[in-house]
Amino acid sequence: MKCIYCSSSNFIRNGYSEEGVQRYKCNGCGKRFCEKGIFARMRFSKEIITNALFLKSYPLSTRNVKRILRKLNYIKVSHVSIYKWVLKFASHLCKFANIFPLNFSKVWHVDEKFIKVRRINKKRKREFAYLWVVSDDKSNIIATHVSFSRDIINDKIVLQKAKQRAGFSPDILISDGLQSYKKAVKKILKCRHVIAHFKSQNIIHNKKWYKLSNNRAESINRFYALWLHACKGFKRLDNANLWIEFFTINYNYLMPRGENEEIKVEWKKVPKIINQEPIIQKLKDMSF
C-alpha cells in the first residue's frame, strides 16, 4: 500500500475509524488516508458504486439504474446519489486516457452535433449546445468538446486537444465542410483537409489511394445520441463536458467493441486502478 495522494511508502498507522477501518498518515505529504482509498467516507461499498457506474455506462437513466440495483442487490439508493457518484468518480475514469494511451491512426474525422445544455439568459432559458468529436478511422474517439458557439475558436480547442492527446498531427482530416475547419486545420494540425459529407471522396496521398467519407463520424455521433437520450440534457456546461468524457472513456476502454468484442480494461479492475491511480501515473511518467 502507498499514499493515495503522493504515492509515498513512508506512512504510519493512525488509528481506526468508527467502522473499524485502518487509517494511515503519510510522512511525505502529511495527509491522512485509509485502506478504502478514494472510496473512503462513502456510505455504500465500492462494489455497489462500481456496479452503478457500470450500469450508467449503458444508455440507462439514473432512475433505471436505481431500480436495477434495488432488484439485484436489494439496496435502496436514490437516483441523486448515483448522479453524484458519476460526477465524483468520472474524473478518475477520465484519466484512463493518460494511463492507457491508445494507438491512434493517421486519418482523423471531425464532426459536431446538437445536444441540450441549460443556458439561462434574457431571451431563452434553454438552448442547444454543440458537441465536437474527433475520431480516427479505427473508430477510436480522440477528443471531445462541448460549447455554446459553433465557431473557429471552439474548433481550434477540440483540434488542439486531439493533437495533445494523440501526440501528433494526422496526415488527413475529414470534415463535413464547415468553413471554420479550413482555418483551424491550417493553424493547428497543418495537414491535408478533405471535405466528404454525403459522398465519399477518392484521393491519393503519399502514393496511396484512399476512399474517404465522414460516415464513421456520423456513426459515433449515434453512439452519443443513445446516452444523451437517457440524460435528457445537462444543467451546466462543465457537467456536460465531464459526462461526455465519461461516455468517451466507456466507449474507448470499458465496453466491448469490434468483431471479437474486445475490452481494453475489465470493469472488475476499475476500483483497483483508480485507487492506485497516482502510483500508475508516476510509473508512466518515470518510463518516459
275: confidence class by pLDDT, cuts 50, 70, 90: low
Which pTM value belongs to this model?
Answer: 0.79
How far apart CA 19 and CA 39 sit, in angstroms, is 14
* Contact yes or no for 33/3 (Cβ under 8 A): yes
Chain center to CA of 77: 25
Return the pLDDT at 65: 92
**Mean pLDDT calculated for residue range 190-210:** 83
Return the pLDDT at 2: 67
36: confidence class by pLDDT, cuts 50, 70, 90: low
SS3 53: helix
Percentage with pLDDT > 70 across the chain? 89
More confident residue, 52 or 37: 52
Per-residue pLDDT tens over the stretch 129-185: 999 999 998 889 999 999 998 899 999 999 999 999 999 999 999 988 888 888 899
Return the pLDDT at 224: 86
Return the pLDDT at 280: 37
Output the average pLDDT for the chain. 82
Query: Which three cell numbers mark 64?
Result: 433505471
Per-residue pLDDT tens over the stretch 110-142: 998 888 888 766 465 557 899 999 999 888 999
Q: Over 204-258, what HEC string results? A: EECCEEEEECCHHHHHHHHHHHHHHHHHCCECCHHHHHHHHHHHHHHHHHHCCEC
- Asked if the model's pLDDT at residue 283 lies above 60, the reply is no
- Asked if the model's pLDDT at residue 60 lies above 70, the reply is yes
Return the pLDDT at 130: 92
The amino acid sitting at 67 is R
**Mean pLDDT calculated for residue range 73-94:** 86
Return the pLDDT at 92: 80
How far apart CA 197 and CA 122 sit, in angstroms, is 36
| Weakest-pLDDT range from 18-22, 193-197, 282-286 | 282-286
More confident residue, 73 or 140: 140
Per-residue pLDDT tens over the stretch 226-239: 888 888 788 888 88
Return the pLDDT at 15: 83
284: confidence class by pLDDT, cuts 50, 70, 90: very low
